[in-house]
A and B are shown apart, each in its own frame.
Chain A
Amino acid sequence: MTQVILAAEVCDTANEVICAPANVNDLFVHEVWFTIGGLEVTRFTFLCFLAAAIVVALLFFGLKDRRIVPTKFGVMVEGLVSFVRDGIARDVIGPEGGKYVPYLLSVFLFVLVGNLFEVTPFINFPITARMAIPLFLALVTYFIFMIVGFGRNRFQYLIATAWPKHVPIGLRWLVGLIELVSVFFLRPFTLAVRLFANMVAGHLMLTLLLGSGVIFIAAIGDLGARALIGIPWLALGIFIFGFEIVVSVLQAYIFTLLSAVYIESSIHFEH
């Protein structure tokens, strides 16, 4: 958002109607604030810590004093916890799903807060729109379900994936090959890309629509009646804004749900 407005300051609205940032990367790369021992601290780094702090504070203050009749805030946090525990972990993984609730809950809340940064005023940047965050979370999920699969079933896990017994013999090698590539290589990639691409698309749409709307309306002195084109852009941007709230929550849910499904599929690998 700020980048588009900054780009508009250097572009002359009197002569040029189309003002765009030089590169799409400008929307996702922030300037370096300061450096600690070779690590560059940017706005993005700060937002990551902010998201983590929000999740910790939410759980700490929500569940601090357990009462018979919890406060309204406590009910909300308990609702979130029981949604992940009953709706995702126990529903998908089964009775032993309780073991994975801490991981699934932290991932769900972190991704949810990170996604909702997209529609939070004055932040307006989803931290999950940088590939580092979704890829890291997807790799953690990948290691968990690999360790669960190999720890419980030893090499039966690998063999049963590459040579599925329930498939007719003529097709077994093909299905086995597809399964092998999909389970061991594509799963973490698609898990990460799904979240990343949704958030990138949302951030781009919001920035372009709201940004161009504001720029056109603000340049009404230079552009005259032509500045009215900003009004439909702004209206569409506000509509997409509501839509993105739904997408943020849904993508956090899908990320957690798929993590649970992958863990489940390596516990009960036979089918």
Chain B
Amino acid sequence: MEGNIEGLSSAIALVGYGLAAIGPGIGIGIVAGNAITAMARQPEMQGTIRTTMFLGIAFTEALALIGFVLFFIA
């Protein structure tokens, strides 16, 4: 019985990680897509845009990573 509950909680944690990955996935797509548009429009600003893109991705990604860590804690 205890094994079942443990298995259930890790299964729920797995679903939770999947849910936590949805938002950041969409967010990183938007960030990268808009960065590509901006680079295509103004290639001379490429360096700044790339730095800002990595920043945006890093902030967005943090949510997915917290979900990932929670999966191991649970």
- Neighbour of A190 across the interface among B47, B48, B62, B68, CB < 8 A: B62
Check if A154 is an interface residue, CB within 8 A of chain B: no
Check if A201 is an interface residue, CB within 8 A of chain B: yes
State in angstroms the CA–CA spacing of A194 and B48 once bound together: 22
B53 to chain A, nearest CB (A): 11
Known: A193-B62, A194-B58, A258-B58. A91 touches B69 (CB 8 A): no
Q: Are A194 and B55 in contact (CB under 8 A)?
A: no
Residues of A with C-beta under 8 A to B45: none
Check if B8 is an interface residue, CB within 8 A of chain A: no
Q: Are A197 and B54 in contact (CB under 8 A)?
A: no
Interface SS of B by simple majority: helix
Produce 1/0 per residue, A184-195, CB < 8 A to B: 000000100110
Q: Are B72 and A257 in contact (CB under 8 A)?
A: no
Which residues 158-203 in A have Cβ within 8 Å of B in the complex? 190, 193-194, 196-198, 200-201
Check if A253 is an interface residue, CB within 8 A of chain B: yes
State in angstroms the CA–CA spacing of A258 and B54 once bound together: 10
Interface SS of A by simple majority: helix
Check if A80 is an interface residue, CB within 8 A of chain B: no
Q: Are A201 and B68 in contact (CB under 8 A)?
A: yes
- Neighbour of B65 across the interface among A92, A193, A258, CB < 8 A: A193
B24 to chain A, nearest CB (A): 12
Q: Are B68 and A254 in contact (CB under 8 A)?
A: no
Which residues 18-72 in B have Cβ within 8 Å of A in the complex? 47-48, 51, 54-55, 58, 61-62, 65-66, 68-69, 72
Q: Which residue of B lies closest to A25 (CB)?
A: B72
The interface of chain B, by Cβ under 8 A from chain A, is 47-48, 51, 54-55, 58, 61-62, 65-66, 68-69, 72
